[in-house]
Amino acid sequence: MRKSIFARWRASFFTGFVVTLPAIISIAAVLWVFRTVSNLTDLLLFFLPKDVTHDGDGTGPIHWYWSLVALVLAVILISVVGVLARYYIGKRLIEWMDNAMMQIPLLNKFYGAIKQVNEAFAGNKHSFKTVVLVQFPREGMYSVGFITSEQHDEIQAKTREKVLCVFVPTTPNPTSGFLILVPEAQIIKLEMSVADAIKYIVSLGSISQGYVPPPPAEKRGWKVEDGR
Of the candidates 153, 187, 185, the one whose C-alpha atom is nearest the C-alpha of residue 167 is 187
> 131: helix, coil or strand?
strand
Quickly state the pLDDT bin for 32 (edges 50, 70, 90).
confident
pTM for the structure as a whole: 0.49
Q: Is 221 left (phi over 0), alpha (psi -120 to 50) or beta?
A: left
Q: Quick one: pLDDT at residue 1?
A: 46
Q: Is the pLDDT of residue 122 over 80?
A: no
First to last CA, the chain: 69
Q: What is the mean pLDDT of residues 110-138?
A: 73
- How many CB atoms within 10 Å of residue 70? 21
* Residue 201 near residue 228 (C-beta atoms within 8 A): no
Q: Are 148 and 166 in contact (CB under 8 A)?
A: yes
| Domain ranges within the chain, ordered by starting residue | 5-65, 130-202
